[in-house]
Amino acid sequence: MGKAKDQNNRTVYREFGNDNEAAFERAVPDLPPNQQNLRIQASRKGRGGKTVTVISGWQHSPDKLTELAKKLKAQCGTGGTVREETIEIQGDHKEKLLEILVKLGYKAKISGG
């Protein structure tokens, strides 16, 4: 018997073909802006009392979300991040973000109190 190609691969049985893990990743639909329903809300939970504005409901690829987050942070003049399928912008910028997103063609609403 010949040596295995990879000494660390200890797979005994595999029902489906090769090691193509990209095929098992969930596809993210990249919908146009006018088909997306976004929610904008201010949150302070788990952030040491600091307020962040959370925009959820995105249906874009991670690259597109990162690009949009950069644009929104620049418009608000503050920092932020992309977490899972949400964009977080530091500070309470609900109205400003709503205005920006509507100009970009998204259907957005302010939710929460």
Question: What is the tally of structural domains in the chain?
Answer: 1
- What's 42's domain CATH number? 3.30.780.10
Q: How many CA atoms lie within 13 A of 59 on its CB side?
A: 13
Residue 1 forms part of a structural domain: no
pLDDT tens for each residue of 13-34 = 667 666 656 555 656 678 888 8
Lowest mean pLDDT among 24-28, 58-62, 93-97, 108-112: 24-28
Q: Please, which pLDDT band fits residue 1 given cuts at 50, 70 and 90?
A: very low
| Residues with Cβ within 8 Å of residue 83, at least 6 apart in sequence | none
What is the chain's alpha carbon radius of gyration, rounded to the nearest angstrom? 20
Residue 11 forms part of a structural domain: no
Residue 12 forms part of a structural domain: no
Rounded to the nearest 5°, which phi and psi values hold at 26?
-75, 130
Residue 6 forms part of a structural domain: no
The pLDDT of residue 30: 80
Distance of alpha carbon 85 from alpha carbon 9, whole angstroms: 33
Q: Report which of residues 7 and 72 the model is more confident about.
A: 72
Residue 97 forms part of a structural domain: yes
Find the domain containing 67 and state its range: 31-110
Mean pLDDT of 36-64: 92
Residue 59 forms part of a structural domain: yes
Q: Report which of residues 27 and 44 the model is more confident about.
A: 44
> What average pLDDT does the chain have?
84
Q: Please, which pLDDT band fits residue 48 given cuts at 50, 70 and 90?
A: confident
Residue 74 forms part of a structural domain: yes
Q: How many other CB atoms are found less than 10 A from the CB of residue 83? A: 12
